[in-house]
Each structure stands twice: as structure tokens, then as C-alpha cells.
Structure 1
């Protein structure tokens, strides 16, 4: 005959430990899935540069959304809009691969029944870095396609390459990753990769910083020599040079302008040198020795070394030290404090007894 009146009892700690062991893998799996989902969805940015001289803050968000819908983007929740008024551009960011492929098709925005042409291009992502190389000779005929085809790097993948401007052989190279490689091979020539530190651009129309002349939103042109608007040609200006950006005695396009200075390299703060561990004997030597008295009965040659805590009382006269302390007064104060303390303890015990009595009688 089986006895079912017995109940299996389990230790509370063991039960808690067993429950935790079952819950931990689920929590780890959930956390890993969130991390993987975050890593897989990287933010991509598409920049819209207006070809016409129109300020980007004049375009409504509804106009941009309508242009995105025309480009084949059905869901308006897949991208975000940012107005860059300094560079006079519009940045569209998304985490969806399909949306990132369709956004470069957006080449026009309609405003008040008129079409405004924009030039879309992909912005550099967070996991990308740029460097500069200087191939020998004249490379003005090179295109981004030929540069990319003849360039190799073992340490990082090359994403894009282009000339930095007309009349220069400098090539701007975009690498994948956050660490700049030291060398690349271009047409079998080993070249050093320099850090890319761009100088702030200046507009050749209004001569302000931050944007180029092809996207300048200003209606009037200003002289790069004096910074004013005048009828005579800009090349014929004989006024004193005055920079529009810093008011210095130089043209706005000068490289000596403090506003156009190339930013310095980010230097890491040097760490303090590590201090070696001292031996016990060396540490003992660093402690100042207590001066010794020259004689036992000579009161005039007592040691001058006095502890820090005793210096304040040492300066006082003996009569002042004696008058500050009253033994009988301090004893009475101590007795009073002890009496009050015991009284509070007994009152607390009485209250506890009353509570226990009420609980015992079920009230």
C-alpha cells in the first residue's frame, strides 16, 4: 500500500539555483539575438546635394517624402531626414538594405509645382576611414574606376578612390574598418598612406565656410578680396584684403586664415610612468626619524619634534589648557546622556511588548 501523505521537500537555495540555471540560457539567447540584430542593421546615409542654388531648409519634409515615394520607397518609416544647413545638403539615414538601395534613385524634389534637381551620393559609414596617397607623376587622367582597379592593400579592403582635385596627384582612398593601413600598392608601387585631415572648404560665391559654390544658397556674390558686394569685377578689386570669416587682413580663400586651419592630430594623453614597488627597507628609510634628547635631566634640550595633533594645544599656555577642561562637568554630562539612552531603550522595549501581546490575543 502506497502512502501518498508524504511531500517531497527541496532546499530553497538548491531550487533557486536550478531555476537560475534554466533561465540563464534563455536570457543569454535573447541578449545575443538583440546584439546580432543590432550589428546586422548598420545605419547607412545618403546625401542629397541640390544642383540649383536653393536653400535646403526651403524644402518641406512632405516634399522629400513624396520624392522618396516616387523613387520606389513604399514605407515612409524606413528612413529619417536631417537638414544640414551649413553644407546646404539633406541627409537621409536608414537601416534597411532595400531602402538604402532605392534612396540613390532620388534625383529630384518637387516644390510648389517646380522640379528641383538633386545629386544623391553615399556618405562615409562609421566603420570606414579615409587616407591620402601621393602617386608619382601626373595622374590627372585617372578615374575612380582605374584607381580602384590598380590599387591593392593586404591590411584593409579598399572601398573607393578618387583624385582630390584638379592639378593635384593626391588620391583620397576610403578603407573598410576604423584603422588606417600604413601601405598600399598602386601600379606595383608601394606608397605610404597619410591621415586625411580635411581643411574647411570655402565657397567661391559668397566666400563663407562649410559649402561649395555649386550648392551656395546665397543670392548675391561677394568679393573674396574685401568681402563686400560691388559692381566691378572680383579680379579688379584693389581694396585692402579683409576676410569675411575672421575679419583678418587676408582674402577669404587664404590658407593662413585661422578658421581654415587644418585640425591637429588627436594626441592621446600620456599615462604617468608606473612606479615600481619599494622594498620594506627602502620604505622604512623614507620615514623621518624622531629626534632624540641629548640628556635626561637637561630640560632646556628637550626634543623639538611634536606630533601634528598636539601642535595646537602645545601653543596654549598651561593656565588656558587647565581652564578649558572641567572633570566634574564632563562626568555629569556623561551620566545624563547614559540616563537618557537607557530611558529610550526601555520605552522601546515596552512598545514591543505591547505589540506582541496584541498579536498573541489576535487583536
Structure 2
């Protein structure tokens, strides 16, 4: 549901409102539809990550354990984050499901098409429903009653499938939520579905339709750079474990040191920190840790368009197949560009001319070496009748 790459760091709690990304879903339904993203892999059950896992597999195992099964496409996804130390795997998923239905007072016949899937690793509940009125009931949940204990829940609607979150900064604090939405979600930003301020900061997160986000966003009449949302591996700053966040921690009395891994350290505990993810000299998943991001590099968001390969036989009938021509054998080997000539000067830079290929049936990819050859070598190639030099 999110694209995690290089950009601004934000947390799920910071952009959570009472209705989450409800506006993004409604605007897409009104005509901004997109293709559905491919389903995730099968779920895996795993206890919270500790230092008994081999270091080289820590990140992979945490990511694998947190994956969700494929949920129905085009349905509304609601996230429930239980508080108060509720341990979903110990309580049992059916018990949690019954508590949710009891809290919403939803009849059985109205919930038969809904899907409730707990994520044991992240200690959250994901609800998928095709009915908007059911989604509204789930979002309004404030607490659930499980085994005689009432647990507060933070419920919000997730961004629709096949959306990407981008971040812009420097938005005045005086701008209201309605003004922010009006300045971003308009015809000048055709991919923008919804926009929300992050807490009380000047940073705004935007949900874009599709698998990529633009590099620039128009905020009213202002053009502002947009960076991609950085999705991180969850780390609990309360118990020190990987895989879940502090607000849903189910280990309030069983802590480990993020620096050395010792259990239940004293308040005066001192150690030499070593990251579990990257072995760096810092606490696990610290701010300076590059391994905490799920996607290590920023993919090219604006790839150059592919250039069409010219037809080597422009005069032939398009319906006729091309003739297979065997390349002619060279009388002598092609000299290496490193053998002679001034370094750093290509033929084009030195001569100011263009290259006219004699063998037009050669593929362009095989001729990339021409740009790095010096004038002397290019003259030798001309003598070999491999190309002809022109003054254009």
C-alpha cells in the first residue's frame, strides 16, 4: 500500500486523522482510478526479532514476517492499532475479530463480505471491506473489549492500492487543512488524491495516484520540490525490538537494549552500541542507519524515454522480413581507445563533426564505443573503411 524509497521520514501516527485517507479513496472512485498493485506474499508468523537471529538475515526475516496476504482488490482497507499491551498472537485472531464486531455492533449478515487479517509481526489488525458504510463504522472505533480488558484502538483508513506518498515542506502553519487540500488537489496536480499536514510541522504528505510521485508539486501558484515517502523497518523505542512500533508494543515489561541487546537494562546502563541491521556503531535502526529503510536506493522517477532503433533498410516493404546480413570481416583489429591520443578528448569534441556509419546494419548499442575514441584512432577506423568522417 506504500512505496518506500528515498525522501522525507514520517510516521504512521503523524499522518493519522480520524478518517485517514478517506478522501483519496473517494476521489479515485469519482474518476481517478488506477491499476491495482500486485498482491503481497503469504503471511509469516514470527516472534519479535531478537539478537538470536543471524545478523545477515535480520532485515530479511523482519520484512518477511511483516508481509500481508493478498487481500481483495479495490476494497477499502482500515488499520486498527490496539494499545494497552494487547498481544494479538497470544489472545488469538478469532477473539480479536469477535471483539471488533461487538464494538461496532455490526450484524453478522452485514459483515460476511469483510475480511479481518491481523498482522502478528506488527501487532496490528487490517480490515478489508467492499462497503463504505462498514468502513465508516470501523474508522469510528475507539476501543475494543478483549478478555475482560478494554484496549484503546487507533483506527484509520489506509491509502488506496497503487498509490504513492510524497512529501513537501515549508507549508505555512497558518494554512488550514481545507486550504492545503485546495492548493494541492486540483487540475494542476492531476495525480494528487489527498494531502495532510504532518502533526504541527510545515511538512505535508500527499497521496498520488499510481506507482510514482512527481518531483515537483504546485502548491497554489508555487512550485515546490516533492520527495518520496521513506518507509522504514518498524522499531519499538519502548521495548527495543524490531517489527512493531511503540504505540502497539505488547512487551511493556520485557525490554532489550537497542545498543547491546541486553535484557531489561538498568536506567544507568551504559554500553558500546552496535546496530543489529548494519553492524554500525549506533543503536539499532538509529537515525543515521541507512539499513533501516525497506528500499535502499531511490529509483529513477523520470526515466528517459526509449529511443526507437532506426530501420537499417528504410526503402524495404514493411511487410517483408529483414534480410539477415553477415557482418563483414575486418582486415585488422580495431585499436583500443587507451593506446594513443590525448586523454579525455573524444572524436566529436576534437573534430566538431559527425559520424556517418558505413555498416548501417550494425546495432546502435554496439557502436557506443565510438564516442570515447580519439581523433587518431578515428582516422585509423576510417582507413579500415569502418566509418566515414563528415564535417556536419
Fold equivalence (TM over 0.5): yes
Secondary structure of the structure 1 residue equivalent to 2:153: strand
Contact kept in structure 1, 2:217 and 2:223, CA below 8 Å: yes
- 1:81 equivalent to 2:116? Answer yes
Q: State how many pairs are aligned.
A: 245
Rg larger for: 1
> 2 CA distance for matches of 1:145 and 1:278?
60
> 2 CA distance for matches of 1:284 and 1:187?
58
Instruction: Give 5+ residue unaligned stretches, structure 2.
Output: 1-34, 37-72, 317-322, 331-392
Note closer, same or farther for the CA distance 1:206–1:248 as it changes in structure 2 (3 Å cut).
farther
1:224 matched to which residue of 2?
A: 258
Contact kept in structure 2, 1:45 and 1:125, CA below 8 Å: yes
Contact kept in structure 1, 2:185 and 2:193, CA below 8 Å: no
Structure 2 matches for 1:56-75, cutoff 5 A? Answer: 56-57=88-89, 58-74=91-107, 75=109
Contact kept in structure 2, 1:225 and 1:237, CA below 8 Å: no
- 1:108 equivalent to 2:143? Answer yes
Moved more, 217-226 or 146-155: 146-155
> 2 CA distance for matches of 1:122 and 1:195?
20
Q: Output the TM-score relative to the length of structure 1.
A: 0.56
> 1 CA distance for matches of 2:260 and 2:75?
43
Structure 2 matches for 1:180-329, cutoff 5 A? Answer: 180-186=213-219, 188-219=221-252, 220-233=254-267, 236-257=268-289, 259-261=291-293, 262-266=295-299, 274=309, 276-277=311-312, 286=327
Contact kept in structure 2, 1:156 and 1:177, CA below 8 Å: no
1:195-251 Cα offsets, whole Å, 9 max, x none, are: 223233422112233322111122322233323235432xx4432112244554321
Contact kept in structure 2, 1:197 and 1:263, CA below 8 Å: no
> 2 CA distance for matches of 1:206 and 1:269?
46
1:352 matched to which residue of 2?
A: none
Note closer, same or farther for the CA distance 1:271–1:228 as it changes in structure 2 (3 Å cut).
farther
Contact kept in structure 2, 1:128 and 1:178, CA below 8 Å: yes
1:119 matched to which residue of 2?
A: 154
Deviation at 1:64, TM superposition (A): 1.8
Contact kept in structure 2, 1:144 and 1:160, CA below 8 Å: no
1:132 matched to which residue of 2?
A: 167
Which one has the bigger helix percentage? 1
> 1 CA distance for matches of 2:134 and 2:113?
7
Please, which of 151, 157, 170 is the counterpart of residue 203 of structure 2?
A: 170
Higher relative CO (CA 8 A, sep ≥ 6), structure 1 or 2?
2
Note closer, same or farther for the CA distance 1:144–1:215 as it changes in structure 2 (3 Å cut).
farther
1:99 matched to which residue of 2?
A: 134
Contact kept in structure 1, 2:93 and 2:118, CA below 8 Å: no
Secondary structure of the structure 2 residue equivalent to 1:52: coil
Note closer, same or farther for the CA distance 1:164–1:208 as it changes in structure 2 (3 Å cut).
farther
Note closer, same or farther for the CA distance 1:91–1:270 as it changes in structure 2 (3 Å cut).
same
Contact kept in structure 2, 1:208 and 1:244, CA below 8 Å: no
Please, which of 65, 77, 84 is the counterpart of residue 45 of structure 1?
A: 77
Secondary structure of the structure 2 residue equivalent to 1:196: strand
The CA RMSD over aligned residues, in Å, is 3.8
Secondary structure of the structure 1 residue equivalent to 2:230: coil
> 2 CA distance for matches of 1:288 and 1:158?
57
Note closer, same or farther for the CA distance 1:231–1:287 as it changes in structure 2 (3 Å cut).
closer
Instruction: Give 5+ residue unaligned stretches, structure 1.
Output: 1-37, 290-363
Q: Output the TM-score relative to the length of structure 2.
A: 0.52
